[in-house]
Structure 1
Amino acid sequence: MKDYKDTHQLKKLEKYYQHVIDEIDIGVHVIDEDGKTIIYNNKMMEIEAMHVEDVIHKNLRDVFRFYEDQDSTLLKALLEGQTIQDKKQTYFNNKGQEITTINNTHPIIENGKVIGAIEIAKDITKLEKLIRENGANTGERFYTFDSIIGESTAIKEVIEQAKRATRTSSSVLIVGETGTGKELFAQSIHHGSDRSQKPFISQNCAAMPESLIEGLLFGTKKGAFTGATERPGLFEQADGGTILLDEINSLGTNLQAKLLRVIQEKSLRRVGDTKNTPINVRILATINEDPNQAIEEGRLRNDLYYRLSVVSLHIPPLRKRKADLPLLVNLFIQNLNRKFQMNVRKVNEDILRLFYDYDWPGNVRELEHVIEGAMNLIIDEDRIEFSHLPSHFRNKMQFKDDIPEMFHPIQKNDYKPFTEPLKEQLEEFEEYYIQKVLEQHDHNITKAAKQLGLSRQSLQYRIKKFQ
């Protein structure tokens, strides 16, 4: 009878503990010595957007994913027996959703042996997202010359010129096609100069109508127009630092004249004001076309051009620095591996040759988007194959005369690009390609899967799919 009462009391007490743990407004997660979850309260379920069945009695590593350079603070406390205080951790739940918490983690020790670990977590996911979005909206991505990747002569010459421009406060005009990385150079100049501790403010001149951008740049005086308030413009906000005027050729000529006066007089007048305000701002500007053509066609005042182009940097398009392709491809793969929690190692060598043959009208930005599009189509492969490339890019390549035969879904003479749905064309290519690789390896599944960058299971699934 006593044993029954003791067991009954124990179960009752256990229910009390569970009720308390579930009611407290902070996440509680406990694992045993094998790394399996034994306690997971309601608040933790809310923070991680998961059900208790998704986590309880399962190994932590089987449920959650962590960045390559991080490990679970719970597992760290378990394996190292150390208490971790106020540690920010970003990780992913079983649906791939990003979670950020501030953790206090403690090992559970019995008779000198670690038998588990407990974590008390505070959710800051929304706060962290808000900070990142606010930083993105105000242009606070931090680029330096170390961020510029390239070993080609063309890009190294421009980098050297830009580094020399960091020594002065002269205006700089950065000329380059869309997607070449003009803002990256602008930020690098700012962060390499003695103004680096002061603000860097970027404004795309094509992003707003002229009626609004004047007040945005130069500020407004209260009562200047209906609803006008006393507000400093971007030039005043950047005082002591640097302002980047992106796509300067998009400004109207009247506003260009006012900008020229600001540069000459080193002072500005807010919209509706009668007095001038002195400013100390370095001006960087970008243009995505030939400045001489923009002047001839009336999109850029020649006097403003001369003021802005004290230093001129001409960023080479990607087609003129193709020696940098392997470096850029590797950089984007590694960045996206961290972002997507993937483990892609490289691109197929034949794909790289296609990249060399392509002119890249969208420049480095287009290359990054092609790599990102390819990685979105990868399942468990460890390299990018032709079938992973975005469909619009594959379609362009299929009409090139020098493309390898294996990249043609069907013979060029029989190709009917506008008579079949895209999905059928892609499936036809995939079937053709797999068939050729299988024949090349005498239908050895292991060897063919290795060349295709697939697991045996993925290849067998495709073989069955195409019968």
Structure 2
Amino acid sequence: MNDLYKKLLDEIDVGIHVINEEGKTIVYNQKMTEIEAMDRDDVLDKDILDVFKFENDADSTLLDALKNGKATRNVKQTYYNNRDKEITTINNTFPITVESGKTWAVEIASDVTKLERVIKENVLKKRNTKFTFDQIIGESEAISEVIDEAKRATRTSSSVLLVGETGTGKELFAQSIHNGSNRSQAPFISQNCAAIPDSLIESLLFGTKKGAFTGAVDSPGLFEQANGGTLLLDEINSLNPGLQAKLLRVIQDKTVRRVGDTKDKEVDVRIIATINEDPVEAISNGHLRKDLYYRLSVVTLFIPPLKDRKEDIELLVEHFIEKYNTLFQMNVTGVSGEVKQLLFQHDWPGNVRELEHLIEGTMNLIVDEELITDTHLPMRIRKKRQINNEQMPSNRADLVSEKNHDSKALKDKIDEVEKLYIQQILSENGHNISRTADVLGISRQSLQYRLKKFGI
């Protein structure tokens, strides 16, 4: 019967927590471990005040029931576990007298922490929460260097040019720079230059004077609206050359003239611009004026694509799973080993944005599973495994034993074998640089040199 009771306690969908007359936990079921994100061993036979933190002892409904014999119904309680994670529950708590005559206390808890997170998330959205450097996910050398450079750029008001592929997080960096600067209390205005037709973008940027054209009214442009703050011009290379020339004049003179007006207005605006192609190629293709480039690129930050910082994929996946757990009220704990391998093999042309959309899509397919498996992945990702299996040698010995009768020099052949071997060990270790270097028996710096040498 004891085994049956234990099984029943672990199957029911409410948390059960019982403490004895000394305030030590004697019953702690499976649902309670999930609600409080605790292990049984951390709670059982421990004093409740040694494990959990309350604003004061009276806030513990369990201790109140034990000491004062007080039963409570549907009482909301917020407290913290031993890792300082905030827990919110709705409790029914009551004292019980056992055969020995001693008094224990029982708590039946329903989880509302998830609901609290959803509410907070929606409130933050309504407040139009801005990004800071703390919200840039990644610990790789590639992204860490850019973050350090961006933080240094917060000390001045110089123009910043963010160069990076679509989906790398350029606006996240732009907002972080603004919020880390002394302009953080002033406006931050963002405009995607590619989203507005040429006929409208000029009046949008510089404003209009009443009577300038049919229907025109006195209206401040983005430069005036961002006065004292920061203006982000996204995809600056999509502006036509004539408009780029006018933009250059505004930046140089720090004055703006509304369309149809004859007077200039002084503006104090920091310009952050983004471009999704190589600036040199943009200039040679006529997409970007050279003089505007020199004015904007006082500080130039190259945001690395995801394929160049794959060691950050695990952190990003954890972050996105946590985000969509909150939004969808789910409890996905992670991805399977096979999925992790497929994610590392993918080239990520859409970068971090593509990864986020992938995680969101997989979680839409999950019913009650806790892990994302390859069955939840889109076919384009799953096909990558089949192609790689066909192209990669079946084992390491094949790297050397495979017959190749071309006329490559010995050094070239050795480089080819070395590159393939490094790629394989790197993949086996989840693209973690330190672990791969340990397996190969070389220093981290030596491995970094080889990665750059072979373009891995």
Bin of the TM-score, shorter chain as denominator length: 0.5 to 0.7
| Aligned partners of 2:160 and 2:301 also within 8 Å | yes
Q: Which residue of 2 aligns with 1:224?
A: 212
Q: Sequence identity, in percent? A: 63
Render the CA deviation track for 1:195-243: whole Å, top value 9, x for unaligned. 0011111000000101111111111111111111111011111110001
Aligned equivalents of 1:82, 1:277: Cα separation in 2 = 65
Q: Which residue of 1 aligns with 2:11?
A: none
Q: 2:311 aligns with which of 302, 308, 323?
A: 323
Q: Which residue of 1 aligns with 2:228?
A: 240
Residues 1:254 and 2:242 are matched in the alignment: yes
Q: 2:199 aligns with which of 204, 211, 224?
A: 211
Deviation (angstroms), 1:389: 1.0
Residues 1:146 and 2:146 are matched in the alignment: no
The 1:83/1:381 distance shift into structure 2, 3 A limit, reads closer
The 1:259/1:134 distance shift into structure 2, 3 A limit, reads farther
Moved over 3 A (4+): 76-85, 128-135, 395-400
The 1:227/1:258 distance shift into structure 2, 3 A limit, reads same
Residues 1:196 and 2:184 are matched in the alignment: yes
Q: Which residue of 2 aligns with 1:155?
A: 143
| Aligned partners of 2:163 and 2:275 also within 8 Å | yes
Deviation (angstroms), 1:402: 5.7
| Aligned partners of 1:257 and 1:304 also within 8 Å | yes
Pairing 1:328-339 to 2, within 5 Å after superposition: 328-339=316-327
SS in 1 for 2:182: coil
Residues 1:383 and 2:371 are matched in the alignment: yes
Q: 2:261 aligns with which of 273, 282, 287?
A: 273
Q: In angstroms, what is the RMSD of aligned CA positions? A: 3.9
Q: 2:338 aligns with which of 350, 355, 358?
A: 350
Task: Provide TM-score, normalisation by structure 1.
Answer: 0.58
SS in 1 for 2:194: coil
Q: Which residue of 2 aligns with 1:360?
A: 348
Residues 1:303 and 2:258 are matched in the alignment: no
Aligned equivalents of 1:83, 1:353: Cα separation in 2 = 46
SS in 1 for 2:144: helix
| Aligned partners of 1:77 and 1:84 also within 8 Å | no
| Aligned partners of 1:354 and 1:403 also within 8 Å | no
Residues 1:180 and 2:168 are matched in the alignment: yes
Gaps of 5+ in 1: 1-33, 35-65, 69-75, 86-104, 108-127, 405-467
Deviation (angstroms), 1:401: 2.7
The 1:316/1:268 distance shift into structure 2, 3 A limit, reads same
| Aligned partners of 1:170 and 1:282 also within 8 Å | yes
Partner amino acid, structure 1, of 2:300:
S
Q: 2:275 aligns with which of 287, 290, 296?
A: 287
Render the CA deviation track for 1:65-122: whole Å, top value 9, x for unaligned. x9x9xxxxxxx9999969999xxxxxxxxxxxxxxxxxxx9x9xxxxxxxxxxxxxxx
| Aligned partners of 1:77 and 1:83 also within 8 Å | no
Render the CA deviation track for 1:146-182: whole Å, top value 9, x for unaligned. 0011111110000000000000000000000001000
Aligned equivalents of 2:130, 2:272: Cα separation in 1 = 16
Deviation (angstroms), 1:141: 3.9
The 1:132/1:393 distance shift into structure 2, 3 A limit, reads same
Deviation (angstroms), 1:395: 3.8
The 1:403/1:345 distance shift into structure 2, 3 A limit, reads farther
Partner amino acid, structure 2, of 1:178:
T
Deviation (angstroms), 1:357: 1.3
The 1:347/1:402 distance shift into structure 2, 3 A limit, reads farther
| Aligned partners of 1:397 and 1:403 also within 8 Å | no
Deviation (angstroms), 1:337: 0.5
| Aligned partners of 2:167 and 2:354 also within 8 Å | yes
Deviation (angstroms), 1:244: 0.3
